[in-house]
Amino acid sequence: MSFIATPQSMHFADALALQSGASIRDYHLAFETYGQLNADRSNAVLVCHALNASHHVAGRYEGQDKSEGWWDNMIGPGKPVDTNRFFVIGVNNLGSCFGSTGPMHTHPDTGEVYGADFPVVTVEDWVNAQARLLNRLGIDRLAAVLGGSLGGMQALSWTLQYPERVRHAVVVASAPNLTAENIAFNEVARRAIVTDPDFHGGHFYRHGVIPKRGLRIARMIGHITYLSDDVMNEKFGRQLREGIDLKYSTQDVEFQIESYLRYQGDKFSDYFDANTYLLITRALDYFDPARAFGGNLTQALARATAKFLLVSFTTDWRFSPKRSREIVKALLDNRRDVSYAEIDAPHGHDAFLLDDARYMSVMSSYFDSIAKELA
């Protein structure tokens, strides 16, 4: 049974300058903390989230069954990131729909719901916002910053934006930027949302509707790309949904995989915000620390002084091991301290959220060594 987690919120009145040139003020960040900050404030671990996640990283909510955080298998008392030793902080990013200020909140200048007017936020902007939160919590330097997928991009960016504030960066199932194919999948998902007649240019809140059709399609595409071909074949294969007879229909569900995807799409469209989906996929598209260095990742990572653990999964075709190895190589070119584990797991990109003995063991060992370093 997991421990009880309590969501908190912090208000920031001052404007935060964003990479786009815009700024945002009077915003809230939702966050949670687990464990105790030690006397010299050196044991803080910041966990950054990916597309469909939040500040609720671990533990469960009082009185709510099945409310475990999204990385509850990784973080908690006696777990790889052990909250008996570390003070863990989960923070929800700006633009999200899970608690921090986002498109469904009110723009302080206009008194209207932001909608499509919420400013474009980047990985770098999120890191700046997280740094402000740490300032308020009195944490100068992190024992580690940790994230998977888009969360791994934030962890990497921390080491470039605030090198002196990060001892260790743990970058799981991530990449130094998106490939054209990944941008392409994001773009199809965005088009499905934006061309839904219920999107109304992003101001659907005013019309009392939700672009559910688009959100469903976006989620279905996402879901396919988070799984491996192998695991899909194993879980669903060509199994029919009902018995052994084909119905011969173009619009009804025939195969189990169709039923599963429709269910995932429906569920997602009930709780996820369409503008948030656009914002977060764009943050993924934009992240590219090598861009300012003419594409030279080695030069881009020269600023980083943290020690690194990189983890990738063999069947992850969205953020493939090859992409993690690019980061490893660039860090080694800079003579940085890097550990790298390529885990032979069948579950595709989703593997970073799942239990796998070797993966858990690598994470345990690494955080164990961080704890010893602090002691």
Binding region for a copy of itself (CB under 8 A):
19-22, 116, 120, 177-181, 183-185, 187-188, 190-192, 194-197, 201-202, 213, 216-217, 220-221, 224, 227, 229, 232-233, 235-238, 246, 248-251, 254-255, 257-258, 261-262, 265, 275, 278-279, 281-282, 285-286, 288, 291, 317
Tally the residues of the chain.
Answer: 375
How far apart are the C-alpha atoms of 89 and 70, rounded to whole Å? 13
State the minimum distance, in angstroms, from the CB of residue 47 to a copy of itself.
25
State the minimum distance, in angstroms, from the CB of residue 238 to a copy of itself.
6
| Burial of residue 39 (number of CB atoms within 10 Å: 0-12, 13-18, 19+) | exposed
Question: Is 245 considered catalytic here?
Answer: no
How far apart are the C-alpha atoms of 249 and 19, rounded to whole Å? 49
Number of helices (H) and strands (E) in the chain: give both, helices first: 10, 12
Q: Which of 49, 56, 168, 349 is catalytic?
A: 349
Q: Look at residue 279 and give its three-state secondary structure.
A: helix
Give the DSSP H/E element, type plus range, for residue 47. Answer: strand 44-48
State the minimum distance, in angstroms, from the CB of residue 211 to a copy of itself.
11
Question: Is 349 considered catalytic here?
Answer: yes
Closest CA to 161 of 337, 16, 306: 306
How far apart are the C-alpha atoms of 167 and 347, rounded to whole Å? 30
Handedness of CA 27, 33, 39, 40 (dihedral sign): negative
With respect to a copy of itself, which residue has the nearer C-beta, 61 or 236? 236
With respect to a copy of itself, which residue has the nearer C-beta, 68 or 288? 288
State the minimum distance, in angstroms, from the CB of residue 20 to a copy of itself.
4
CA distances from 185 to 2, 33, 364 (A): 36, 34, 34
* Residue that is written with structure tokens 């240019």 in the block: 201
How far apart are the C-alpha atoms of 344 and 347, rounded to whole Å? 9
Question: Is 96 considered catalytic here?
Answer: no
Give the DSSP H/E element, type plus range, for residue 88. Answer: strand 87-91
With respect to a copy of itself, which residue has the nearer C-beta, 98 or 118? 118
372's tokens:
């010893």
With respect to a copy of itself, which residue has the nearer C-beta, 134 or 280? 280
With respect to a copy of itself, which residue has the nearer C-beta, 108 or 237? 237
How far apart are the C-alpha atoms of 31 and 341, rounded to whole Å? 29
DSSP per residue, 132-186: HHHHHHT-SSEEEEEEETHHHHHHHHHHHH-GGGEEEEEEES--SS--HHHHHHH
Q: Which of 2, 54, 96, 149 is catalytic?
A: 149
State the minimum distance, in angstroms, from the CB of residue 139 to a copy of itself.
30
Q: Which of 316, 324, 347, 356 is catalytic?
A: 316
State the minimum distance, in angstroms, from the CB of residue 148 to a copy of itself.
21
State the minimum distance, in angstroms, from the CB of residue 223 to a copy of itself.
8
How far apart are the C-alpha atoms of 44 and 221, rounded to whole Å? 36
With respect to a copy of itself, which residue has the nearer C-beta, 127 or 192? 192
With respect to a copy of itself, which residue has the nearer C-beta, 64 or 251? 251
Which residues are designated catalytic? 149, 316, 349
